Amino acid sequence: MEDFETYISKLREADSPLVREMEEFAAEQRIPIMDRSGIETFIGLLRIQRPKLILEIGSAIGYSAIRMVSALKVASVVTIERDNERYAKAVEYINRSGFGDRITIIEGDALLLPDESLPNLQYDALFIDAAKGQYKRFFEKYSEHVAEGGIIYCDNMFMHGAVMIPDEEVPKRNRTMIRNLKEFTSWVMKHPNYETSLLPVGDGILVAVKKRD
């Protein structure tokens, strides 16, 4: 029996050769990009929300940025990446995708970036997909740039199951990161200014809708 990802892939419009090339490159180079079930769900949510301006923390090679703008006819994405090799590869792929006019990529550490580096101050959606132990800091720094009624999405909320096992069974090198991620999750789920859901798809996608005053 085929798995549901294969079943869905066959039903979907064929991915562009560039998207396939990026998926293969990421797999070969062990670059973590959103998995197929995660990106499929995320794009479905964005199609419902219809954001015009999206801010992404963690571009890697530009895969999710390209997938977002190709799915949303009028959306633009600003995306931040701190790793210079990934940034260079993302620039190359964005140019090849033909979406250079709708994707702005910024090289730098999102936690250190001054606000003036952002081309816009208000976004309809914020996608946090960078260092997993720093999600609370990304959220605190960038949530003020999300418009009321806007949505904050976070990927890898399950960290491949590591958040569900007892602390002492998590490999020592990942313990602080997993603890931070779990603390962020319980903090954001109770945040009074957001209505938050944790979706059990892909590697766990958090959806926090910013309440209107």
Ligand X SMILES: C[S@@+](CC[C@H](N)C(=O)[O-])C[C@H]1O[C@@H](n2cnc3c(N)ncnc32)[C@H](O)[C@@H]1O
- Contact, 105 vs 59, CB < 8 A? yes
Of 30 and 190, nearer to ligand X (C-beta) is: 30
Tell me how far, at minimum, the Cβ of 159 lies from ligand X, in Å: 11
Should residue 32 be labelled a site residue for ligand X when binding is judged by CB under 6 A?
A: yes
Q: How many residues bind ligand X (CB under 6 A)?
A: 20
Please give the Cα distance from 134 to 130 (Å, whole number). 8
98 φψ region: left (φ > 0), alpha (ψ -120 to 50), beta (else): left
- Contact, 40 vs 69, CB < 8 A? no
80, 103, 157, 178: residue in contact with ligand X (rule CB under 6 A): 80
> How many Cα atoms sit within 13 Å of 62 on the Cβ side?
32
Should residue 129 be labelled a site residue for ligand X when binding is judged by CB under 6 A?
A: yes
Specify the stretch interacting with ligand X by CB under 6 A; choose among 103-111, 145-153, 161-169, 188-196.
103-111
Residue at shortest CB range from ligand X? 58
Tell me how far, at minimum, the Cβ of 167 lies from ligand X, in Å: 23
Should residue 202 be labelled a site residue for ligand X when binding is judged by CB under 6 A?
A: no
Please give the Cα distance from 181 to 117 (Å, whole number). 27
